[in-house]
């Protein structure tokens, strides 16, 4: 049923871009994307400071996402944004568990699980990031690491249709060292197997699993050709015109695969 999953392409701007540059990105890159919204969901995640501007400026067929959400609700939590504040503002998506947040801001699996639960309860859709380090891959523990990351979110999710899983191997993020299509395919297949075993076969078949890590306009075609890859979470290349090619490649490819 691979052909039945609508593709999903996200641009994660991380902490990049001053005001003028991000305005340019919205006007000249995002608002000129060519894609069929029936075939691919496109989201863009600017810095928190630029969310409001982006929400006003982006074309209707693109959704704005937050790169993070508070572990807590509203209240005395300096520097945070609560899930309810995002939904109240009309934001529909949030990225949770990005490896940069795990590594640099100490977000453990349990924290990610709680954030996922809070975000879903508040009505947000979640892009859940998981992935292994190079050391973990080289010691053949990739699947064990992914299993721990997924297990920590198992109880948090009641409705998997609200979740997109982003497989982002840490060694491929910002390094120019993209996973081979075969590596990504194999790992996505493991994630789908986890879903079949821990949720249900049906949910596993329906859940979108996207790849992130040095995706660009050159390698996106080979990656999207893999039946288990349902789109991308793009970092560096989402700050360039290359993002247009990535989105159009996904849109053109959707529906061309044989149903399994």
Ligand X SMILES: O=C(CO)COP(=O)(O)O
The token pair that represents 60 in the structure block: 């209707």
Among residues 50, 84, 98, 132, the one annotated as catalytic is 98
Nearer to ligand X, 37 or 174 (CB): 174
Which parts of 46-124 are beta strand (E)? 62-66, 93-96
Q: Please name the residues in contact with 218: beta carbons below 8 A apart, sequence gap of 6 or more.
A: none
Our finding on whether 149 is near ligand X (CB under 6 A) is: no
Our finding on whether 235 is near ligand X (CB under 6 A) is: yes
The packing angle between helices 142-154 and 181-198, to 10°, is 40
Output the smallest distance, CB 214 to ligand X, in A.
4
Whole-angstrom CA distances from 115 to 60, 98, 109, 128 are: 27, 12, 10, 10
Residue nearest to ligand X (CB): 235
Contact region for ligand X (CB under 6 A) — 77-85, 113-121, 182-190, 231-239?
231-239
Output the smallest distance, CB 61 to ligand X, in A.
21
Contact region for ligand X (CB under 6 A) — 71-79, 102-110, 207-215, 252-260?
207-215
Q: Which residues bind to ligand X, rule: CB under 6 A?
A: 12, 98, 168, 173-174, 212-215, 233-237
């Amino acid at each position: 049923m691979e052909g039945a999953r609508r593709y999903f392409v996200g641009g994660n701007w991380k902490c990049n871009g001053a005001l003028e540059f991000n305005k340019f990105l919205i006007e000249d890159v995002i608002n000129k994307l060519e894609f069929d919204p029936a075939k691919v969901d496109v989201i863009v995640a600017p810095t928190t400071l630029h969310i409001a501007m982006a929400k006003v400026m982006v074309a209707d067929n693109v959704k704005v996402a937050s790169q993070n959400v508070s572990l807590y609700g509203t209240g005395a939590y300096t520097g945070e944004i609560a899930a309810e504040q995002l939904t109240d503002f009309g934001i529909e998506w949030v990225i949770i568990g990005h490896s940069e947040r795990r590594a640099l801001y100490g977000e453990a699996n349990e924290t990610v699980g709680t954030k996922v639960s809070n975000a879903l309860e508040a009505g947000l859709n979640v892009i859940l990031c998981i992935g292994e380090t190079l050391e973990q891959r080289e010691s053949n523990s990739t699947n064990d690491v992914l299993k721990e990351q997924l297990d920590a979110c198992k109880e948090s999710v009641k409705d998997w249709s609200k979740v997109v899983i982003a497989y982002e191997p840490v060694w491929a993020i910002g390094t120019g060292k993209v996973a081979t299509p075969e590596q990504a395919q194999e790992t996505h297949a493991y994630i789908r197997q986890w879903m079949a075993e821990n949720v249900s076969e049906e949910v596993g078949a329906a859940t979108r699993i996207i790849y992130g890590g040095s995706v660009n306009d050159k390698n996106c075609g080979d990656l999207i050709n893999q039946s288990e890859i349902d789109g991308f979470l793009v970092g560096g290349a989402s700050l360039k015109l290359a993002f247009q090619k990535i989105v159009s490649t996904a849109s053109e490819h959707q529906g061309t695969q044989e149903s399994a």
